[in-house]
A = this chain, B = another copy of it.
């Protein structure tokens, strides 16, 4: 299970020299000090202060943080492209954070909002990306096939949901909130016993098995992650649900057959905006006349590409769409949007739950991977909390049916126990 050093992240090993003593022996140059002054003039030093390796390593007062840059080259990289390089430098231990990492990332997200128009324009290409099947497989393999054991360490223990949970109350546990999320989606879709559900992007199978068990439906679940499919099939057998749930190792574009319900939780982020119309076509082809569907996805209030470091190291090819962009799934394919819910804050809370367990099990992670991996995932989870708290990311659930279908529910009261 122990992976070769850094392989999952793809960072060249030469970047990871932990000889801090050697680096610290060198004194900062005039250029180093000038760069630090520039940064402090622009961003201030409260609540986050930039420090070089020659300063004493002190504990910051509560609510503030110190970002310690530990060599000249790291400083230069940070200045040139902080969004891309901070992640690698932090992972490699060439940048350290004293105090709360979340504070640092919150400040970074606020600074990000001031990004130049030129940069936004340069980023636009991403919005039209349409990965083909080969690219999709490579992207999905990068993230989801790094070991089921790893995800088991910090996801909920009952359904292994690697998507936003739903907290009916602030006191709900991660397990309760993931169960509530699945019920929430199932109620929105009004699942009835015997119905045929097709799932696009089924993860480790937790939701497919949940629907079969709790709502008596037949599920066909598509996924291109080999490791997840193997896990899901095994899990179905353990629960004796292999007759109700079929796990199919194939792409959403190859969905076939007729279904009452189309559901996709957390796959759209990997589809690419250029493929949305086709995704809608697939849903339309897959559904009966009175079929209905739900797409649950990370999104944005304004178009923007994913953070470049997350794109490079964590989620290659991922793109969180705006609601306007998502309409390309529905509008050209004869669908009517019935309900959109934005549960952004639930994702911040979900990620807090994941991060807490991640830290509780960090020794187990360390035994599987190396320190750079441990730090990279800490940064990714913490940065994602900051993004959802600050509104850089949203979470949309979009319920839809065919235009003119009058079998749709009259109100949404049934989702909340009424109706």
Contact = CB atoms under 8 A, between A and B. Distances in A.
A339 B406 CA distance: 22
Contact of A411 (B168, B322, B335, B406): B168
Contact of A324 (B324, B394, B410): B324
B403 A391 contact: yes
Contacts of A343: 411
A401 B316 CA distance: 31
A168 B411 CA distance: 7
A135 interface: no
A389 to B, nearest CB: 7
Interface string A156-190: 00000000001110100000000000000000000
Interface in A321-366: 322-324, 327, 330-332, 334-346
A347 to B, nearest CB: 12
Contacts of A125: none
A142 B214 CA distance: 56
A56 interface: no
B391 A301 contact: no
A9 interface: no
Most buried by B among A334, A335, A337, A406: A337
Interface size class of A (residues with CB under 8 A): 35 or more
Most buried by B among A301, A332, A342, A412: A301
A281 interface: no
A330 B323 CA distance: 10
A391 B336 contact: yes
Most buried by B among A334, A394, A406: A406
A408 B335 CA distance: 29
Given A168-B411, A338-B342, A342-B339, A327 B330 contact: no
A18 interface: no
Interface of A: 166-168, 170, 301-302, 322-324, 327, 330-332, 334-346, 389-392, 394, 403-406, 408, 410-413, 415-418
Given A336-B394, A339-B341, A389-B406, 4 more contacts: A166-B411, A301-B331, A337-B342, A416-B418
Q: Which 6 A-B pairs have the closest CB atoms?
A: A391-B404, A340-B340, A416-B416, A324-B327, A391-B403, A301-B403
